[in-house]
């Protein structure tokens, strides 16, 4: 049984369309999230936390809205900014910009514990010590998710959709959907199937579902 681990019912509604063969269950667990400038490491670490909690295969979904004219803000901080500023104020800030282009990104992290703790290779060990010496975020070293022998491997799947920030329209979706326009419609004006057909989450889920079916 695969568990799609999220506290967000909007994500579940969209993911169900890809994962509805009965072998997936939702797990409402708020796994601890690290702070990072990129979604990949957040999803990877979240998948490990969720796997440890669930004790079986898990899929986690880390997503965010990246506004071009704000250097990608709120990006990985989208959830915090939605709760604090709110989406109307994000729109107001973007309305003052010349460049209102934005993108949604989604990274899915899958972890099932496979491939863990196999080779106590001395070279891996050296790398790991170097990474530890570099500090908790591995400063000065690129994130190499899943390469060291003592870290649970995670498989990542990414999706992206371009659009622009507009005044809120539409009743559907969740989060920033009313202020994100793609192809003349906001995501909140689209039904779930239409949003999935173009969205960051739909793209990432499609890649995951394909890989999962032939693994």
Among 2, 4, 6, 190, binds ligand ITT (CB under 6 A): 6
Query: What's the CA gap between 186 and 178, in Å, rounded?
Result: 6
- Least distance (Å) from ligand ITT to the CB of residue 174? 6
Q: How many CB atoms lie within 10 A of CB 206?
A: 15
Q: Is the dihedral angle over the CA atoms 31, 36, 39, 44 positive or is it negative?
A: negative
- Least distance (Å) from ligand ITT to the CB of residue 22? 22
- Verify whether residue 112 is a known catalytic residue: no
Closer to ligand ITT at the Cβ: 30 or 121?
Answer: 30
Residue of 28, 61, 62, 150 with catalytic role:
62
Query: What's the CA gap between 12 and 145, in Å, rounded?
Result: 25
Closer to ligand ITT at the Cβ: 66 or 212?
Answer: 66
Please, which of residues 173-202 interact with ligand ITT by CB under 6 A?
A: 173-177, 187, 199, 201
Which positions are annotated as active-site residues? 62
Binding stretches for ligand ITT (CB under 6 A): 6-8, 11, 30, 61-65, 78-79, 82, 104, 173-177, 187, 199, 201
């Amino acid at each position: 049984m695969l568990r799609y681990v999220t506290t967000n019912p909007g994500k579940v509604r969209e993911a169900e369309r890809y994962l509805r063969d009965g072998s997936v269950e939702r797990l409402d667990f708020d796994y601890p999230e690290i702070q990072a400038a990129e979604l990949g490491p957040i999803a990877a670490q979240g998948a490990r936390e969720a796997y440890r909690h669930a004790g079986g295969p898990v899929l986690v979904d880390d997503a965010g809205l990246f506004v071009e004219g704000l250097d990608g803000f709120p990006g990985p901080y989208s959830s915090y900014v939605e709760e604090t500023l709110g989406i109307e104020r994000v729109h107001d800030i973007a309305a003052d910009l010349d460049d209102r282009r934005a993108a949604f990104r989604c990274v899915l992290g899958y972890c099932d514990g496979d491939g863990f703790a196999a080779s106590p290779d001395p070279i891996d060990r050296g790398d790991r010590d170097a990474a530890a010496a570099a500090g908790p975020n591995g400063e000065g070293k690129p994130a190499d998710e899943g390469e060291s022998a003592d870290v649970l491997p995670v498989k990542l799947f990414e999706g992206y959709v371009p659009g622009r920030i507009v005044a809120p329209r539409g009743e559907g979706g969740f989060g920033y959907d009313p202020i994100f326009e793609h192809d003349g419609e906001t995501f909140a004006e689209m039904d779930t199937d239409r949003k999935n057909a173009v969205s960051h989450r739909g793209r990432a889920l499609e890649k995951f579902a394909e890989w999962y079916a032939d693994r």
